C-alpha cells in the first residue's frame, strides 16, 4: 500500500514561512506505532493523519515523539489538502478528533479554524518559575500550557529558552506573550517534552492567548504574530467559548509513502 503525503506551510503566504506540517491521507487507521514512526520520520512539529469523509473526516496529530490532542497548524494544513484534492466545491469542513468535532471554513485565501476557547487560570509567579524563565513575568496562567505575560514585544523576541528547565514545568508547553508593537499581541511557544523545542506558529496556543488578550484589550477581533525564526500571522476572533483562528496556507511538497 502507498499513502499520499503533503507538506504544507501554515499561517503564511510564502513558502519557507509559517509552520510546516505533513498531511498523510489514509483509508483506515494504521497501528499507532506505525503512525508514530511516520511522524518521527517526517521530523516536523506535527504530522496530521486524515481519513476523508463527506460529512466528517477523521483526524489525528503526532509530533515526532507523541500523539497530541489538539493542533492548529496541522489542522489548517489538513483542511487545505481536503479542500484542494477532495472537496473542491465545499466551503466548510468538519473533523472528528480527540478534542471533539472541529470545523474549518475558507474565505478567499484564508482558512479559519473553529476551536474551543481554553482560558488559563491565574497561577503564582514564584522563584522557581522566575528561575526557569530567567526573568520575572507580569503574570502567569495555566491551561494545557503555561502562559506567561512579559512586559514588551522586545522581551518576547530576545527570550532565550532553557529547554531542560522548560521540560520540567508541570504543563504541556510554555507560551510567552506580550502586547505587540504593530499587532495586538505576540507570542512564542516551546514544547521540548513533546519533541518540539520551539514551534514556529502554534494554532492551539491561541485557544489560551485569544481569551486573555480579548479581555485585556477589550476587543474580540485581534491580529497576532508568532515571533519564531520562520514567523507567522494569525487572524483571531473570540466567540464565547469558541475561538476562530485564521491564516493563509502554502503547499511546499507532495509525494507518496511507499
Residue 1's pLDDT band, with cuts at 50, 70 and 90, is confident
Reported as a single tens digit per residue, the pLDDT across 131-154 is 999 999 999 999 999 999 999 999
Reported as a single tens digit per residue, the pLDDT across 73-129 is 999 999 999 999 999 999 999 999 999 999 999 998 899 999 999 999 999 999 999
What's the pLDDT at 134? 96
What's the pLDDT at 217? 98
* E strands present in 33-184: 46-51, 57-62, 67-68, 92-97, 100-107, 110-116, 121-123, 139-142, 146-149, 174-179
Of 41, 46, 131, 198, the active-site residue reads 46
What's the pLDDT at 174? 98
What's the pLDDT at 58? 98
The percentage of the chain sitting over the pLDDT mark of 70, rounded to a whole number, equals 100
What's the pLDDT at 108? 87
How many C-beta neighbours within 10 Å does residue 179 have?
A: 17
46 tagged catalytic: yes
What's the pLDDT at 136? 96
Reported as a single tens digit per residue, the pLDDT across 7-60 is 999 999 999 999 999 999 999 999 999 999 999 999 999 999 999 999 999 999
Read off the pLDDT of each residue in 173-186 and give the average, rounded to a whole number: 98
Read off the pLDDT of each residue in 191-210 and give the average, rounded to a whole number: 96
For residue 73, give Cα distances in angstroms to 18, 128, 201, 243.
Answer: 9, 32, 7, 14
Q: For residues 45 and 20, what is the distance between their CA atoms, to the nearest angstrom?
A: 7
**Sign of the torsion angle spanned by Cα atoms 138, 219, 231, 252:** positive
The percentage of the chain sitting over the pLDDT mark of 90, rounded to a whole number, equals 98
Amino acid at each position: 500500500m502507498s499513502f499520499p503525503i503533503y507538506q504544507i506551510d501554515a499561517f503564511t503566504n510564502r513558502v519557507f514561512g509559517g509552520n510546516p506540517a505533513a498531511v498523510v491521507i489514509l483509508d483506515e487507521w494504521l497501528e499507532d506505532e506505525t503512525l508514530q514512526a511516520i511522524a518521527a520520520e517526517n521530523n516536523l512539529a506535527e504530522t496530521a493523519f486524515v481519513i476523508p469523509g463527506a460529512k466528517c473526516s477523521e483526524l489525528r496529530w503526532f509530533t515526532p515523539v507523541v500523539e497530541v490532542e489538539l493542533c492548529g497548524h496541522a489542522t489548517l494544513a489538513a483542511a487545505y489538502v481536503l479542500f484542494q484534492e477532495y472537496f473542491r466545491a465545499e466551503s466548510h469542513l468538519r473533523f472528528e478528533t480527540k478534542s471533539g468535532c472541529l470545523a474549518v471554513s475558507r474565505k478567499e485565501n484564508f482558512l479559519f479554524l473553529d476551536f474551543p476557547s481554553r482560558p488559563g487560570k491565574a497561577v503564582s509567579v514564584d522563584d522557581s518559575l522566575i528561575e526557569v524563565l530567567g526573568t520575572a513575568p507580569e503574570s502567569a496562567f495555566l491551561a494545557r500550557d503555561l502562559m506567561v505575560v512579559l512586559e514588551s514585544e522586545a522581551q518576547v523576541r530576545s527570550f532565550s529558552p532553557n529547554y531542560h528547565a522548560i521540560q520540567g514545568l508541570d504543563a504541556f508547553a510554555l507560551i510567552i506573550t506580550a502586547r505587540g508593537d504593530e499587532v495586538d499581541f505576540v507570542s512564542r511557544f516551546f514544547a521540548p517534552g513533546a519533541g518540539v523545542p520551539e514551534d514556529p506558529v502554534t494554532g492551539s496556543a491561541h485557544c489560551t492567548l485569544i481569551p486573555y488578550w480579548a479581555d485585556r484589550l477589550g476587543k474580540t477581533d485581534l491580529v497576532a504574530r508568532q515571533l519564531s525564526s520562520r514567523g507567522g500571522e494569525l487572524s483571531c476572533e473570540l466567540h464565547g467559548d469558541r475561538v476562530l483562528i485564521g491564516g493563509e496556507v502554502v503547499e511546499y511538497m507532495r509525494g507518496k509513502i511507499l
